[in-house]
Structure 1
Amino acid sequence: MAERNDISGLLAFIGREGDWRERLQDVVAEHLIPALEEFELDQEGLADLLGEQWTGVLWGCGFEDFLGQRYEDGNIVDLYLKRRGWKETALNRAYFAALRDAPVSLYEVSNVQPGTSMTLRDLLSDAAPVTVKEISATRTLKQWDRIAVRVVPERDHHVISGALLPFRAETVDFLISGLRDALKLKKRDALRLTRDQLLTCAPIFTTAWLFIEIDRALTPAQPQFTNSDGDDVLFHDLRYLFASGVTQRAVAERLDRVKGFLPQGPKLWSWLAERKGRGGKAGYGIMLDTQMEGVTVLGSMELKGKALLVTVNSTERADKVRKLIRDAAGDLLRSHLTTIRTVDQMRADQQRDRPSEEVEEIPPDIARQLMRDHMDKHYRETLDAPIPALGSKSPRQAVHTAAGREKVIDWLKLLENHSARHDEGPITEYDFSWMWAELGLEEHRM
């Protein structure tokens, strides 16, 4: 493996040949300049922004593209092998020739065996998935990651090239848009590229990655939280004081009559969404909501002393619950006081309110089992809950159509990938195979 990674002889040869050295610089510039000009950066500023570790990878994207370029006077790999190939090992000669002809493409990662191998599925062609032998990348890549790289045949197996770019979901979208524009495809045209098209479009992969990564580095994104209605999460705590002479029993009797207010005790209610006919709108970001037997909990209400306390997680739900309470018990209550908290403020309040005394630590094995049980329960309820990404249909409903199945597959991959990228522990180790099986999608997980 080390032999075919030794490009020192080839680089020295390029450095001695003026025209070829300039051509290499031109190809590398084609990969970098569009993003550098857009964000008004130079290469030194790019390294400072993204980190030195990416400098070599980005240069490698241009270098590998250059190896496949054919000019009027030939190709650099052909020329090098003809003049200096006798100095290289047979493995190196074969690797250079294979890398010259290998196009970059977008691959989906699966069946990762850390330190050994992984399976790559080309998302831009109908080629069969291929297993590649790889040591370092398989120690960091996770199930369903997307990467831009070149797959190179080597003897009786495949390897990947040295320039590998991990693609986020938004980078994939940006790349696909760029490829469609470059190839002048219509919306209905399938994005399936030939080898020659992929070779021609190589700089677009690097540019797409740079545009997203530079933008994220310049403007670090804060996590966006939404509820199942697609509303931005902003916790509203409403406090209604009783009117003079009003008792808790009188207010409780009124609240018991409201459709959707489910009593959880003599002084506590959960506000539930309707089981059927709930449309909802797709939202972006991390969804925060609670489910009760497959139904979304929209808020909670509690009687404390001479006050009614109401908590919801969005401005829109606050407006709706105010109207419901006003219609049901407005004559029993005074005007309310509203406190608004962000997700970070809510977390800070919860942290501050925790008891300061030490609690007995739960044994790790029991903690893991409790977490697995909790995740099992959560995901079993989720299979019957409306999901914004599925057009507010439940996964069980969505799989009944071809388009719905594709959305569910993407949703499952996203869940599994996010879980795999979590810190070590029960979440990282969670086995999602039962969800694929329950939805009849096992064959799409291979």
Structure 2
Amino acid sequence: MRNDISNLLTFIGKDSIWRERLHDVVAEHLMPALTEFEINDDDMSDILGEPWPGVLWGCGFEDFLGRHYGKDNIVDLYLKRRGWNETSPNRDYFTALRDTPVSLYEITNVKPGASMVLKDLLGGREAITVVEKSATQSLNKWDKIVVRVIADGDQHIISGALLAFSPDAVEILFDGLRHTLGLDESAVIALSKEQLHKCAPIFTSAWLFDTLPRAMYPQQQTFLNSDGDEVMFHDLRFQLAPRVLQKDIRERLKDIKNLIPDGARYWNWVAPIRKRTTNEAEGLMLDTQIDGKTILGTLELKGKALLIGVNSSNRAAKIEALVTKATGDLLKTPLTTIRTVEQMMEEEHPDDYEEDDLPPEIAQQIAHEYMDNHYRETLDTPVPALGNKTPRKAVKSAAGRAQVVEWLKQIENRSAKRDDSTIGEYDFGWMWQELGLQRDP
């Protein structure tokens, strides 16, 4: 079997010295995080689930194959004593693992089920095409991964231990490398082959310091409206006072600014679209727009009641005050029902609609038009990741251009990971072009 390590593991397991050395190297990769979060190996396995315990052990194992103890190295010893019993591809693979350090790579192109192009972000190597089937099924362009890239004849492959790094994990890694190497915060990190070999445990630790707390303390998705308020649906029901007619209420509602009639009994409560200046990446924005305005809520006269729907407590308080002032004693004190986003989703019934009511191509067109409008607005909105500068202003400096490139990569990468294909297939190329940036290396 190609790249079969079973005989090598058996060889190590029969020698107490080498077995203990392997255990110690794996511990170097895991113990900083286990100690920090006060958990043990079994806890980690339960928290992360499969396949991560095996992958993390593999990170330590691959590092161990490159370690030298004086003049001794386990790969050299094994091939000397048992190499005759291994296939030529296996001998070459063990030797390559021994000599190849781990590094951080950025995926600049991916062909699912076939190959991917990797850019070495630490070792200074040129972009290289890697033949890979399984991993490319779940990886996307601009993903960052930690792995060993191994020469295999006239092509390249990756080792078995692969860790996908989030932007936060990358920052933790860079901080760890700067601390270990005594570099300033602004220093560009470029490591030699020897340095990469010595720093291997830092890569695993960085991944764990990012992944473990998110797995232990998962955060729920935050939904915001354009005012920056957390979305909480409020339904207000104003009962009409005795002998009050709908026409009486309609006449009074004319005094409220920003109420746009949509028929005889329905109004949209609107406001000019505001440029968001808060952490837009921290929450998913839920708001509807119409004719260049944001819909803050809806009002409907139905029977002997005025029904109002808004998506935050602040908006509920504002519209209640406006309506009460305009209508006086024509309406009774409202009854209010409050629901979370999750409760709203649970209340939806599949029988209320048919999936085929909206053709996929129309759904995609609507989604892409929304994203066009959203991101065109974002180009002129201060972004926290860019030092609260707008993307258009940030690209005017060299440092800002680098930040914008990373920002674009992140939003494009996040979009590609969405299960919804209408969003996952969105083309961000126009944003790169409009900002005057090179999208592909």
Check whether TM > 0.5: yes
User: C-alpha displacement at 1:227, in angstroms?
Assistant: 2.5
Alignment correspondent of 2:146: 148
Secondary structure of 1:335 counterpart: coil
2:279 counterpart (273, 277, 282): 282
Structure 1 SS opposite 2:113: coil
Shift of 1:221: 3.6
- Decide which of 234, 237, 240 is 2:238's aligned counterpart: 240
Provide the rounded CA distance (Å) in 1 between the counterparts of 2:429 and 2:410: 16
Unmatched 5+ residue regions in structure 1? Answer: none
Structure 2 CA distance for partners of 1:163 and 1:397, relative to 1, 3 Å: same
Cα separation, 1, equivalents of 2:85 and 2:11: 12
State the shift of 1:63 in Å.
0.8
Q: What is the deviation of 1:117?
A: 0.4
Change (3 A) 1:236 1:55: same
- Report the residue type matching 1:370 in the other structure: I
The 5 A counterparts of 1:24-103 are 24-81=22-79, 84-85=82-83, 88-103=86-101
Q: Distance in 1 between matches of 2:186 and 2:439?
A: 24
Work out the number of aligned pairs and report it.
434
RMSD over equivalenced CA pairs, Å: 3.6
Please report how far the alpha carbon of residue 434 of structure 1 lies from its aligned counterpart in structure 2 after TM superposition. 4.8
Q: Take 2:187 and 2:376, find their aligned partners in 1: how far apart are those partners?
A: 34
Instruction: Determine helix, strand or coil for the equivalent of 1:204.
Output: helix
Distance in structure 2 (CA, Å) of the matches to 1:413 and 1:297:
31
**Does the Cα contact within 8 Å between 1:262 and 1:272 map onto a contact in 2?**
yes
| Residue in structure 2 matched with residue 374 of structure 1 by the alignment | 366
- Residues 230, 192 of structure 1: CA spacing in aligned structure 2 closer, same or farther, 3 A cutoff? farther
Offset, 1:337: 2.4
Residue 136 in 1 paired to residue 134 in 2?
A: yes
Matches within 5 A, 1:239-278: 239-242=237-240, 247-275=245-273, 278=275
Distance verdict in 2 for CA 1:84–1:373, change over 3 Å: same
Quick one: structure 1 residues 29 and 397, their matched pair in 2 at CA, closer, same or farther if it must change by over 3 Å? closer
Report what 1:10 is aligned to.
8
Q: Distance in 2 between matches of 1:146 and 1:171?
A: 10
Query: Do the aligned partners of 1:280 and 1:392 also contact (CA within 8 Å) in 2?
Result: no
Q: 1:314 corresponds to which residue?
A: 312
CA contact (8 A) 1:236 1:312 kept: yes
Q: Which position in structure 1 is the counterpart of 2:356?
A: 362
C-alpha separation in 2, matches of 1:314 and 1:392:
26
Q: Which amino acid aligns with 2:109?
A: N
**Cα deviation code 1:331-352 (max 9, x no counterpart):** 6544332221101111223328
2:224 equivalent to 1:226: yes
Task: Note the alpha carbon deviations across 1:177-201, whole angstroms, 9 max, x for none.
Answer: 4444444554434455444443333
Contact map agreement 1:390 1:408 (CA 8 A) in 2: no
> How far is 1:368 from its partner?
2.0
**Structure 1 residues 390 and 297: alpha-carbon distance in aligned structure 2, compared to 1, 3 A threshold:** farther
Matches of 2:197 and 2:6, distance apart in 1 = 24
> How far did residue 379 of structure 1 move?
1.6
Distance 1:205 1:289, change over 3 A: farther
Summarize the alignment of residues 113-124 of structure 1 with structure 2, pairs less than 5 Å apart: 113-124=111-122
For the Cα contact (< 8 Å) 1:390–1:407, is it kept in 2?
no
Whole-angstrom CA distance in 2 between matches of 1:137 and 1:373: 31
2:417 corresponds, among 421, 428, 446, to: 421
- What letter corresponds to residue 281 of structure 1 in structure 2? T
Q: Does 1:399 align with 2:395?
A: no
Tell me the SS of whatever aligns to 1:381: helix
Amino acid in the other structure paired with 2:161 = A
Q: Distance in 1 between matches of 2:407 and 2:236?
A: 35
CA distance in 1, matches of 2:376, 2:347: 32
2:438 matched residue in structure 1:
443
SS at match of 1:375: helix
2:150 aligned partner, one-letter code: V
More off after superposition, 166-175 vs 336-345: 166-175
Contact residue 293 and residue 381 of structure 1 kept, 8 A: no
| Further displaced range: 366-375 or 236-245 | 236-245
1:291–1:6 Cα change, 3 Å = same
In structure 1, what is the Cα distance between the partners aligned to 2:412 and 2:273?
28
The corresponding residue for 2:105 is 107
Q: 1:399 to 1:128 in 2, by over 3 A?
A: farther
- 2: CA distance, partners of 1:311 / 1:75: 71
Deviates more, 1:57-66 or 1:310-319: 310-319
Q: Which residue of 2 aligns with 1:207?
A: 205
Instruction: Decide whether the 8 Å contact of 2:277 with 2:382 is kept in 1.
Output: no
Equivalent residue, structure 1, for 2:338? 340
Q: Distance in 2 between matches of 1:150 and 1:294?
A: 51
Q: Which segment is superposed worse, 54-63 or 90-99? A: 90-99
Distance (whole Å) between structure 2 residues aligned to residue 125 and residue 303 of structure 1 = 67
Distance apart, 1:161 and its partner CA: 0.9
Task: Identify which range, 419-428 or 35-44, moves more after superposition.
Answer: 419-428
Change (3 A) 1:178 1:288: farther
- Tell me which amino acid in the other structure corresponds to 1:222: Q
Distance 2:120 2:287 in 1: 35
The answer to whether the 8 Å contact 1:224/1:232 transfers is yes
TM-score of the aligned structures, taking structure 2 as reference length: 0.82
